[in-house]
Amino acid sequence: MDSHNYLKSKIKEICENYDSSSTGGWITGDGPIPANIMFIGEAPGKTEVESGKPFVGMAGKTFEGYLNSIGLSRKDIRITNTCFFRPIKINLSKTGKTTTSNRPPKTSEVNLFRQILDEEIKLVNPKIIITLGNVPLKRLTSFKNIGECHGKLIYDDNLKKYIFPMYHPSALTYNRNGSFKEMYENDWKALQDAINKVLNK
């Protein structure tokens, strides 16, 4: 069994046997194995589950635009998640109508996939890992908040890897002020420099 199918079978097994909270489908990572550059997000949303690929919804389009802006495309990178199923909450309105929305994965749900993500990182063997948002940052490092370390190249002694923490692209949707966008764009420029530095070592 090749690396992709091995990971997929392990993820499928966990997702299909999980019944502690509501979930809405699952996906696996996308991109080459091995790869020099690996992005790790939080969990898939509705669009990702429908397409079977990470980062294809609104945040994914933002992500891809910035990725292209530093001379990369999806075929150059491995992109995966910290939690592989879509964590959902089902809301009941006063009229009795139900709606489904995304929720952040619980710590216990992140831990379900701890071994899987570790194995994926080992198989991909990236020279640099970019964490997108707080969930993968807390999973892989001892940092408590993205605000204290975003846009900086860090060497992690446990993983023996370079890590570059970034805000999740969906943060642009919630922070519509110009100063946040400028900071986010500066982080991408810093990422381009960090990738060049690490890959040319």
For the residues of 98-111, what is the DSSP string, one character each? EEEEE-PPPHHHHH
pLDDT in tens, 66-95: 999 999 999 999 999 999 999 999 988 888
- What pairs with residue 129 in β-bridges? 38, 163
* φ/ψ of residue 94, rounded to 5: -65, -25
- Model-level pTM? 0.95
Alpha-carbon gap, residue 24 to 100, rounded angstroms: 9
pLDDT in tens, 89-143: 998 888 888 999 999 999 999 999 999 999 999 999 999 999 999 999 999 999 9
Helix (H) or strand (E) holding 170: none
